[in-house]
Structure 1
Amino acid sequence: MKINLTSVFVDDQAHALRFYTETLGFLKKHDVPVGAGGDRWLTVVSPEAPDGTELLLEPSGHPAVAPYRTALAQDGIPAASFAVDDVRAEHDRLRSLGVHFTQEPMEMGAVTTAVLDDTCGNLIQIMQVR
């Protein structure tokens, strides 16, 4: 068994696609219209693993989403975690692109983490295992 797909809820799929591809560097994998409301089955993947785990940029319209995301953000809990080779270098690269971090790079045992605001309603952790 392996993880095939995971998701983050986003308020605006077009905005999320721009952030996750142009800023974070993921590649668009699937973009399929679903339903009459303009929502899409919209996934991105790492350029390092284009056939790997997909991240669904899922519309946040369900009534349970807003309180869930608000509670996570208020408590500083990331909705997802992405592995990077060098947290400090990635932090510097993203900060130069205007990304806001809610947690600066921090060493915790064998890992270094930082947490960013994805501009789509989520906190995202980047992490490096040393």
Structure 2
Amino acid sequence: MSKTQASHISALTHVSLVVEDQQAALDFYTEKLGFEKQMDMPMEEGSDDRWITIGVPGQDVEIALQAVGWFDGRDEEKLRPLVGNNAMLAFAVDDCHAAYEALKDRGVEFVSEPNEQDYGTEAIASDMEGNELLFLQPSADGSM
């Protein structure tokens, strides 16, 4: 039996991105990067808190835009340092140079221009809060 079968885990469905401003994050990821809004619903009645998820069109994994303001006390203290410091998100692109130019034209700020590596061509951008986003065109042999 494989490790996957033994754990009963069938898929990764969501990753969280801790943000200060959900609406600004939603606008950035949908308008500048072209992601699709998957869900946008109230967390609980009478609250301004929202469950917002976005995703790359055609992909099953969703990014939950997790507002740091949902939490208080120790949980907020633990999560607040993640705003702008989340783990890097990496996205595959067919043509790194073309993606770089198109995203730059939409106002996306880049930390690095496309550069060639052994594993492919990469460019690094940042979102509205400073989280780094890697755009990677795998090498011709498909290795990363």
TM-score range (shorter-chain normalised) is 0.7 to 0.9
User: Does the residue aligned with 2:48 lie in a helix, a strand or coil?
Assistant: coil
**TM score, norm. by length of structure 1:** 0.83
Of structures 1 and 2, the larger Rg is shown by: 2
Alignment correspondent of 1:57: 65
In the alignment, does 2:55 pair up with 1:45? yes
Shift of 1:60: 2.4
Q: Secondary structure at the match of 2:77?
A: coil
Paired with 2:49 and 2:130, the residues of 1 have a C-alpha distance of 17
Separation in 1, partners of 2:14, 2:47: 23
Instruction: Work out whether 1:87 is the aligned partner of 2:96.
Output: yes
Q: What's the Cα RMSD here?
A: 1.9
Query: Cα offset for 1:31?
Result: 0.7
Deviations 1:52-78 (A, max 9, x none): 1111111123222333456x48xxxx5
Letter in 1 for 2:77: P
1:101 paired residue number = 110
1: distance between equivalents of 2:79 and 2:112?
A: 23
1:68–1:27 Cα change, 3 Å: closer
Higher relative CO (CA 8 A, sep ≥ 6), structure 1 or 2? Answer: 1
Distance in 1 (CA, whole Å) between partners of 2:20 and 2:82 is 13
Q: 2:80 corresponds to which residue?
A: 66
Unaligned runs of 5+ in 1: none
Distance 2:83 2:20 in 1: 11
CA contact (8 A) 2:18 2:82 kept: no
Deviation at 1:110, TM superposition (A): 2.1
Q: Are 1:31 and 2:40 an aligned pair?
A: yes
1:114 is aligned with what amino acid? A
**CA drift at 1:3:** 1.2
